[in-house]
Structure 1
Amino acid sequence: MINSIFSSQKRFTFLFFVVLFVDIWVKLNCPVFPYRFISKPLVILFLLMFYNVNKRGRGIKYHLWVFLGLSFFLVGDLLIINAANIIFLGLSLFFFSLGKIFFCLKFSHKKDFNVLRLVPFSIIMFSYAVFIIGIVLNELKEFLVPALLSFFLSLLMIQFAYLRKGVFNNKSYWYVLLGVTAFIISESIMAVKTFKQDLPFQDFLIMMLYGTAMYFIVLGIVSERRYKISFS
C-alpha cells in the first residue's frame, strides 16, 4: 500500500501537498507545541520516503548526498520552529547550511561548462544577493557571518543547479532549477521576516515556497538521466 502511493507521482503529489497545506494550517492556527513538531517534519519525511522508493541504480553511495541533505534540512526544520530563541536559530542555520552543501555535492558534475553562459546568470544572482543583503545587513548583528555564509551556499546551490543544463535531461534540470529558485525566494522572505520586518502573507509564502521547492528538487533528482555527451 505504501509503495503504491510513493511509487506513483500523481498519488504522491496529491498526498504531499495535503501534508504541506496541513502544516501551513497548523502553523497559522495552532499552538506550536506539540502540533507543529508533528506536522512540520512530515514534509521532509514524506520526501525521504518518496526518494527512497523511487531512487534508481548505483547503490547507496550515489544517493547518500540526497539522504544527508534532506536529513539535515529535517533537523533544521525542527530547530527553526523556535526561531525566537537565538541558539535554536543559529543551530538551524548551521544544519540548513550542511544540507545545502550536500545538495551542492549532488548537483555538481565533472563536465566542462560554457563560461560565457554563466556570466549573465552570475550577474543576476549577484544583483539579487546585493539587494537582499542590503535589506537585512544592519540587522544581522551576531548572525552576520552565519547568515551570509548560509545565503552564499544558497547561491552556490542555484549555480550548481544551473550548470546541470546539458548534462542531465531537461525534465530533471528544470525541476531542480525551479525548486532551488523557490527555495531562495522562501529563504529571502524568511530572512527579511526574522531580521528586518514583517511582510504580508509571510508565513504562508515561506512554507508554501519551501515545501514546493523541496518537492521539485527531489522530483528533479528522481527524474535525473545523464546525457552521454561531452562539452567542447
Structure 2
Amino acid sequence: MLTKSEKSFVFVYVIIVILELVCSSLVSLYALHFITKPSVVISLICFLHQNTNDLDGKTKKITIWALTFSVLGDILLMFVFINQNFFIGGLISFMLAHLMYIKVFYGKHKFHKKIFNFLGILLIYVFFLFYILKNNLGNMLLPVILYMAVILLMVTMAFLRQGQVNKLSFILVFLGAITFIISDSLLALNKFYRPLPLANISIMLTYALAQLLIVFGLKKQS
C-alpha cells in the first residue's frame, strides 16, 4: 500500500506531530511551538514536491497552494492571543486552502445519485453543529457560515471522486476530507462552545491526519 519513501515520510511526519504536541503542551517548550506547528504541513509540501513526479503538474501545483494556505492559517491562528483578528485571517486562509482542494477534486468528479444520501447526512451534522454554536458566534456568525459552506463543498467534491479515480485514492482523500471536518468541528466547539479536554491534542492529531490522507490520496490517483 505504501512505498518505501512514503513509509519513511510517515515516520518523520509522526515525529514532527509528536514534537508539536509536546511543545504546545509544555510551558518550558512553548516557544518551539511557533516552529513545530507550521513544520507539520511544511513537511507535506516538501514531500509533495520531491515525491510526486508522476502526478500531473496542475494537480501538484494547486495542492501545494492548498498546503501553503494551510501553513499560513496555522501561523495566523498561533497569534490569536494577541488579537482576535488573527482568527479571521486564519479562517480566510483555511477557506482558501479548501477552495484549492475543491479545484483539485472537481477535476475528477462525476455526479451520481448517492450524493443525495451523503449530503443529507452531512447537512444534518453541519446544522446540528451550527445549532450548538450559533448563540456564541456573535460577529463571527457570517464568517463561520461561509466557512461551513466551503468545507461542505470540499467534502462533497471529495465524495464525487468515487468511480473517477482508483479505489485507494478515493478512500484516502475522502477519509482525509471527513477527518478535516472533525478537526474543524473540535476547534469550533473548543472556541465557541466550551473548552474541550485535551483540545490541542485532538485538534492537531485530526488535522495532521487529514492533510496526510489527502496528500497521499492525491498522490495515489496517478
For the criterion TM > 0.5, the same-fold answer is yes
**TM-score, length-scaled by structure 2:** 0.93
**Counterpart of 2:143?**
146
- Runs (4 or more) in structure 1 with deviation over 6 Å come to none
Which of 63, 67, 70 is the matching residue for 2:64?
Answer: 67
Displacement of 1:81: 1.1
**Counterpart of 2:9?**
12
Deviations 1:120-175 (A, max 9, x none): 10000000011110111111111111111112111111100000000001111000
Q: Contact (CA 8 Å) 1:108, 1:160: kept in 2 or not?
A: yes
Which of 33, 36, 54 is the matching residue for 1:36?
Answer: 33
Structure 1 residues 165, 79: closer, same or farther in 2, change over 3 A? same
Q: Contact (CA 8 Å) 1:179, 1:217: kept in 2 or not?
A: yes
**Counterpart of 1:100?**
98
CA distance in 2, matches of 1:122, 1:58: 29
CA distance in 1, matches of 2:77, 2:93: 10
Which of 212, 215, 220 is the matching residue for 1:218?
Answer: 215
Structure 1 residues 200, 62: closer, same or farther in 2, change over 3 A? closer
Q: Match of 1:99, as an amino acid? A: A
Displacement of 1:200: 2.2
Alignment partner of 1:158 is 2:158: no
CA distance in 2, matches of 1:104, 1:32: 37
Structure 1 residues 213, 59: closer, same or farther in 2, change over 3 A? closer
CA distance in 1, matches of 2:186, 2:15: 23
SS of the aligned residue for 2:137 comes to: helix
Structure 1 residues 43, 212: closer, same or farther in 2, change over 3 A? same
Displacement of 1:202: 1.5
Alignment partner of 1:52 is 2:49: yes
Q: Contact (CA 8 Å) 1:66, 1:106: kept in 2 or not?
A: yes
Displacement of 1:26: 0.9
Question: How many residues get paired?
Answer: 219
Deviations 1:161-215 (A, max 9, x none): 0000000011110001111111100100100111110112211100000001101
Q: Contact (CA 8 Å) 1:7, 1:50: kept in 2 or not?
A: no
Out of 6-15 and 177-186, give the one that drifted further.
6-15
Structure 1 residues 194, 177: closer, same or farther in 2, change over 3 A? same
Displacement of 1:82: 2.2
SS of the aligned residue for 1:8 comes to: helix
**Counterpart of 2:116?**
119
Structure 1 residues 97, 75: closer, same or farther in 2, change over 3 A? same
CA distance in 1, matches of 2:49, 2:85: 32
Unaligned runs of 5+ in 2: none
Unaligned runs of 5+ in 1: 1-5, 226-232
CA distance in 2, matches of 1:151, 1:111: 21
CA distance in 1, matches of 2:138, 2:219: 40
Calculate the aligned-residue CA RMSD, in Å: 1.8
CA distance in 2, matches of 1:31, 1:101: 37
Structure 1 residues 8, 148: closer, same or farther in 2, change over 3 A? same
**Counterpart of 1:229?**
none
CA distance in 2, matches of 1:59, 1:202: 37
CA distance in 2, matches of 1:130, 1:111: 25
